Structure 1
């Protein structure tokens, strides 16, 4: 119950306020490098495309300062790296499915802190399309956020109901045991 409520607060609500502040034109088939301006031990990479968030990678710093990839959605095309004390994400052989807005975030004291987003687009798209996508991003996330907030609320109430039912059964069982002794 706590976990589902915590997930809503930590992940879905901050997504409503994300914006892509940088547009980056890419060529299909080439390699793209994205850098993260957040310096914490654990970095999460997220892509939002068509209003849907997708976790891509989690990297962590080892005690000796080297970068370790904790989890990777696609090891053949996504690479985590460290350069000049800055972590990054390398996308190898960019395809149309890679187009979207990328964010890095760090989990700090039960709160996700996001860096500024970078939206990847191709020259084949008109110059208006990337900006329209950025403007439409919050609209897509509002619907997504509402969907997950309702889901989390229903889940929370269901778990609360289950907890109350178990508590009532426990109390009645205990009361019967006390009457028998």
Structure 2
């Protein structure tokens, strides 16, 4: 999150390349690129020029996502357009190194900056709670065992 990610398309660059995103069951067109006669990549259409960039590297076209946010965590496809037909490359799923549910339940800084003091305090509290629970089970077990031993002696 917050960094730039480059996705590559393994389809022929001699046709229009369409970049698509599928998130929460919705398909969204992001960009269309084509190859100029000079061999340079031309961006025909871009949904958000400040967030998406088309580029070419070693005769392969790519999509660069700038400053990745949680809304960018989705599956991306590139497709070639030739004679009213789309051929799709395999999809690429973009996900965070962090557990997304953790982001919503706790502080975002714990995910972006690595383990923060907040996270360490939270982990310590959970650890002491677990230790307390184990101690309670042990005490209950010892008390019921003592009663059973006394009942067996009678």
Q: Which has the higher helix share?
A: 1
Q: Which structure has the larger Rg over C-alpha atoms?
A: 2
Deviation beyond 6 Å, 4+ runs, structure 1:
none
Counterpart selection for 2:84 from 110, 121, 132: 110
1:77 CA drift (Å): 1.1
Of 71, 76, 80, the match for 1:97: 71
Q: What's 1:120 paired with?
A: 94
Q: RMSD of aligned C-alpha atoms?
A: 1.0
Q: 1: distance between equivalents of 2:99 and 2:34?
A: 35
Where do 5+ consecutive residues of structure 1 fail to align?
A: 1-27, 127-181
Aligned length: 99
The higher-RCO structure (CA 8 Å, 6+ apart) is 1
1:82: which partner in 2? 56
Query: TM-score when scaled to structure 1?
Result: 0.53
> Displacement, 1:36?
0.2
Q: Does 1:35 align with 2:19?
A: no
